[in-house]
Structure 1
């Protein structure tokens, strides 16, 4: 049996507890008790959550032995800070475990303990800059759902914690069990760590219905040329007026926004399907597989083949 220990600082984000359902459903899918889950804190006893409720925990000691630590974060990891004793205890405990994961801003605790030095990591998008400033030796990647670097795992915020927990299950029990867990939890899809924390449409956030309609049209017709004239017609504006309003509302040119929508769609096809890259390129509006690779390298720093292998959990 694999013991999963949750390390809970005072005022921890209550969302962390939701990930325990992943291990519950993994036991159901595996039809045996693969995982046991326990809550720990430095002193034990009741620990206050970010919602003001309290949960019981066991005291963390030198004799505590778990397979995997999941370290919860707090609402404000910079102002609140972490108790030095907790940081020291985490450093010792992580050394005795097979792997350690920082949930959301729990990455700050791992970083303060020196566990992430010279490693790749992520956290909630609102705190990536603060993490990088506080720990310059860490390679913070602000636009990832979760990251695995050896025995250290870190996740983006909130629901991305579920994706990390599901990734742990997939690593232990395989993709079939992980898929069963995702279906049981009604998760919309199995998101790999390489996925973005953001949706392009949400990030662009147009203020008017006209620009929103043009973007929705573009996303539904990515294989089409999608020039300014075509999008302007959808928005019932002249091309010049459309370009001006589009840039004012989104901060980008129409051409750049369309490229980002195409890249987002292509990434999802690469991760979820086995289509050849030529097919992915054609379906998402890129000239060919070579053009797709160029845009992937510019956008993600890696070619599409690397993203596909990461999504499948292979080297």
Structure 2
């Protein structure tokens, strides 16, 4: 299918509503697809509920449905299944799960946002598939549904015709990836700029930065040292320099890294620098020597060795894979699988 051809019909996006749905899980994707219409995209959005009536979200806001799910008999190009804080109750709602199965069968692509993955899993749609959800619920998803291969920190995951995403903002990332797949990178980038969100957040990225993943420390001196590395990855971050900023001895600084973070100063610095290099490779055209210099590695060879250690790939291969949101380079038959 080539939606950009002359006379092509708009792509149909169906968004499922149910009582207790999270408001932003619904409106985030809708905003992305709606904004795309101003930049070369062509989408038709509709919301459905079990009986066609409005629902009250978890925030107390009411949202109207365009029609009852039973009336949505035509094929959707994308089905969006949002989540809600009451997912433990929702996965026991047999009528809702039947509705998810029915709408999925009528859709070319099914995409969940946040804990919407639990609805897909409970409906049996994730069995044998890779999937993700909000990091707080990833362990629950894996324990309750052992047939699902959970990737706990991915922003979004695609496995065949099913896509799952992490929290609210990751639902926007997933939607941008679909816009890129449908109408190209330029349209997706224009939408991202219009909504003032980042385009370059491929699905394979982690939900967290190195600094965010680090255990919380009670040591103010250590926090200052950590933050200095993140703020300027290309700066001087030897153990001596970090100890000087923290106002501690090098030996004491190294001990704090071990006791508080379970790592060494050198490893922490390298992890931050790798992450900074990833961001540059995803979003710019700087040659590898410039990327290595700006992120503190000094030379492309040092950068390559670090990527091999942490990511099991090369900077060039990483750039080729993650320069887009991750779906635009696939052949049409792969996209529809």
TM-score, scaled relative to structure 1: 0.89
Q: Determine the C-alpha separation between the residues in 1 that align with 2:292 and 2:147.
A: 37
Match runs of 1:145-184 below 5 Å: 145-184=155-194
2:61 matches 1:53 = yes
CA distance 1:284–1:200, change in 2 (3 Å): same
2:243 matches 1:229 = no
Q: Determine the C-alpha separation between the residues in 1 that align with 2:272 and 2:208.
A: 12
Unmatched runs of 5 consecutive residues or more in structure 2: 1-9, 331-337
Superposed CA offset, 1:40-59 (max 9, x none): 12222021201012212221
Residue 3 of structure 1 is matched in structure 2 by 12
Residue 309 of structure 1 is matched in structure 2 by 321
Q: Determine the C-alpha separation between the residues in 1 that align with 2:51 and 2:61.
A: 18
The Cα shift of 1:7 comes to: 0.8
1:22, 1:181 within 8 Å by CA — same for their partners in 2?
Answer: yes
2:24 matches 1:12 = no
Match runs of 1:36-115 below 5 Å: 36-57=44-65, 58-61=67-70, 63-65=72-74, 66-115=76-125
Q: Determine the C-alpha separation between the residues in 1 that align with 2:59 and 2:140.
A: 23
Superposed CA offset, 1:32-76 (max 9, x none): 7x1111111222202120101221222111752222100011114
Superposed CA offset, 1:139-175 (max 9, x none): 2111111112221111110211111111111111111
Q: Secondary structure at the match of 1:45?
A: coil
Residue 211 of structure 1 is matched in structure 2 by 222
Give aligned pairs, total.
310
Residue 274 of structure 2 is matched in structure 1 by 263
Q: Determine the C-alpha separation between the residues in 1 that align with 2:186 and 2:24.
A: 25
Q: How much is the aligned-residue C-alpha RMSD, in angstroms?
A: 2.3
Q: Determine the C-alpha separation between the residues in 1 that align with 2:231 and 2:53.
A: 53
1:3, 1:68 within 8 Å by CA — same for their partners in 2?
Answer: yes
CA distance 1:128–1:234, change in 2 (3 Å): same
1:41, 1:60 within 8 Å by CA — same for their partners in 2?
Answer: yes
Superposed CA offset, 1:189-247 (max 9, x none): 43221221112222324444422321232234534563322210111111122223344
Superposed CA offset, 1:74-98 (max 9, x none): 1142354341122122122212211
TM-score, scaled relative to structure 2: 0.83
2:211, 2:230 within 8 Å by CA — same for their partners in 1?
Answer: no
